[in-house]
Structure 1
Amino acid sequence: MVKYEIFVSRKPVDGREIEELKGLPVIKPFQVHGAGIAFVGKKSSLPPKADALVTDSKKIWIGVLSADCLPVFLVGDGTVGIVHAGWRGTLKGITYNAVKYISRFSPVREAILGVCICKNCYEVGEDVRKLFSSEYESCFEPLGNGKYLFDLRKANRIQLKAAGVPVIREIEGCTVCNNDLYYSYRKEKTEKRILSAIRII
């Protein structure tokens, strides 16, 4: 497994404005809440249109922006990955797909779930719940009146386990409960974002 370093921005820093860390450029995708994955080896003029990035380069960071969605860090033998997983990306299997993509180059040894909205704060409607298959049933806690609490972390754990990732860890923190530290779109309707980034060292 490669040696790696993780970075998670905190208030009042806006992650959108971070272009480099420790003298190395940060590559961020143009996120579309989809299931697209892009391999990046160096900084280019146009950001890749994707919700997951993978690299084997020690000369860049790869990062995603979030303000309630879940960042997932993936660590392989010669590569690292970063995933932006909201409920739409999760529904499309973005985390599972990213693991399978990296597995073409090297096994994914470890995943780290980043800071996101927690299961006690993430309320969704029946319209969202009915889109998910029965394997995600345990991720929804009914509140009544067609409302549910959704466990975004658990849903992505299901994908990581299904993809065969042996070690799954978590970074503590909820964007709503810990809104003094992290930006939350639901809590404050902000355009500012958290940057979650990873690099090979």
Structure 2
Amino acid sequence: MNYEIFISEKPKNGREITEINGIPVIKPFQIHSARIAFVGKHTEHVPQADALVTDNKNLWIGILTADCLPVFLIGENVVGIVHAGWRGTLKGITYSTVKYINEFSPIKKAILGVSICGKCYEVGEDVYEQFYPRYADCFTPVGNNKYLFDLKKANLKQLKAAGVPSIESINLCTVCNNDRFFSYRLEKTDKRNLSAIRLK
């Protein structure tokens, strides 16, 4: 499991990062879907997807977030990166990406990246109702039909359900650590944090 991860920090805008240490970064056109794209040796177009998978050592695959959750997936000779906002999480994107990769290389480890934490992410009844009852334990009611949603916990459930044997978490929140990371909720910014992974 030779891999390397990269997480950008302020003031660098992840949108502007096209290479890391001289190696190109492939980023998808994110659409809050459950779509997975495989990136091989030749990628002429930007894939429309919210998860990327590659077995190519000569590139990074990355996603942009400003509160949503990046999930790094590591297999034997393959890596993946998932953009898990609440919509993608609801559609089971993390679970689906693990199952996709497992078809040709068993996932050995997952890392939950930098995202908004369960104490800062307030959502309405409309979001809660879509996740109920399967993810009810990921929500904490705070009154006025509002809930705190633990996005990491919801995706942890998907990783466990998919049988990932080792799961780590980077315990940094985009809101609590806004001096280091961009948060759309806090700043309404169009700047993004880049989370990327590559095979070594």
TM over 0.5: yes
TM-score, with structure 1 as normaliser: 0.98
Q: Deviations over 1:112-155 (max 9, x none)?
A: 00000000000000000000142211000000110000000000
Q: Deviations over 1:61-84 (max 9, x none)?
A: 000000000000000111000000
* SS at 2:131 equivalent: coil
CA distance in 1, matches of 2:14, 2:41: 20
Between Structure 1 and Structure 2, how many residues are aligned? Answer: 200
Which residue in 1 is equivalent to 2:184?
185
* SS at 2:130 equivalent: coil
Q: State which drifts further: 38-47 or 56-65.
A: 38-47
Task: State the AA in 2 paired with 1:156.
Answer: N
Percent identity over the alignment? 68
Structure 1 runs (4+) deviating above 4 angstroms are none
| Aligned Cα root-mean-square deviation (Å) | 0.8
- For residue 42 of structure 1, report the CA deviation from its aligned partner: 3.2
* SS at 2:135 equivalent: helix
User: 5 Å matches for 1:34-183?
Assistant: 34-42=33-41, 44-183=43-182
Q: Deviations over 1:143-199 (max 9, x none)?
A: 011000000000000000000001110112100000000000000000000000000
Task: State the AA in 1 paired with 2:177.
Answer: N
CA distance in 2, matches of 1:135, 1:166: 22
Task: State the AA in 2 paired with 1:75.
Answer: I
Task: State the AA in 2 paired with 1:155.
Answer: A
Task: State the AA in 1 paired with 2:124.
Answer: G
Task: State the AA in 2 paired with 1:177.
Answer: C
Gaps of 5+ in 2: none
Q: State which drifts further: 143-152 or 126-135.
A: 126-135
Task: State the AA in 2 paired with 1:184.
Answer: S
* SS at 1:44 equivalent: coil
CA distance in 1, matches of 2:111, 2:144: 34
Task: State the AA in 1 paired with 2:65.
Answer: S
Which residue in 1 is equivalent to 2:22?
23
* SS at 1:89 equivalent: helix
- For residue 48 of structure 1, report the CA deviation from its aligned partner: 0.3
* SS at 1:82 equivalent: strand
Which residue in 1 is equivalent to 2:10?
11
- For residue 43 of structure 1, report the CA deviation from its aligned partner: 5.1
CA distance in 2, matches of 1:73, 1:45: 24
* SS at 2:156 equivalent: helix
Gaps of 5+ in 1: none
